[in-house]
A = this chain, B = another copy of it.
C-alpha cells in the first residue's frame, strides 16, 4: 500500500511508483493555490495530476495530506526564490527589494494567484483545519525569519537604521508584502503598485541611509 517518494531498495523490489512525486505536488499546489482548499475538489485534483483516487490516497492519505505537502512545497520554493535574489544582488537590501518586486510581478501571467498561497490559506482556513492553518502560519514565520537575517546584515552594513530590531523590521516588511499583494487584487495598476513598493523601501524604517 505504501508508496515511497524515492523508491527504496528492499528485500525484493516490485513495481516502483511511476509518477514524479515532486511534479505531482507542484501541480496540486498550483491548483490549491488558485482555487483555495475548500473550492478544490478531489476530482479537480485527479484531473490536473492525472492520478486515480486510489493512488492519490495511497500516496498522500487525504485531501488535507496532499494540501500539507503542497504548502510545504510552496513555502520551500519561496525560500528558494529569496536565496536566488540574494545570489543575484550585491546587498541584502537589494535582495529583499528584488524579492518583493518578483512576488508582486508574479501576480501577472504565470502564477495561479496574485496572492501568497500561505496568506490565502491563513485567510481561508479556521480551527476546523487547525493543523494546516498552523503549518501555514509557521511557514510565514520561517520566511519572516529569513527576512530578519537579511535585515540584520543590512544593519551591519550600515545600509539601514538600527533603531528597530531586525525582527521588527521583518514584521514590517511582511505587513507591506501581504498588504500590497492583496491590494493588487483590487487595483492592479502597475504604476500604483510600483508606488507602494517604492514607499516601502524609501521611507523609514527601511529607507536606505546615504
List residues of A whose CB falls within 8 A of some B CB.
Answer: 34-36, 38-39, 115, 119-120, 122-124, 126, 128, 137, 140-141, 168, 171-172, 174-180, 182-183, 185-187, 192, 195-196, 199, 203-205
Given contacts A140-B186, A179-B176, A183-B174, contact A119 B123 (CB under 8 A): yes
A102 to chain B, nearest CB (A): 18
- What 3 A-B pairs have minimum CB-CB distances, sorted nearest first? A179-B179, A175-B179, A38-B38
**Copy number in this complex?**
2
Q: Which residue of B lies closest to A167 (CB)?
A: B192
Query: Which residues of chain B are near A185, meaning CB under 8 Å?
Result: 122-123, 137
> Cβ of A126 and Cβ of B204 under 8 Å apart?
no
Interface SS majority for chain A: helix
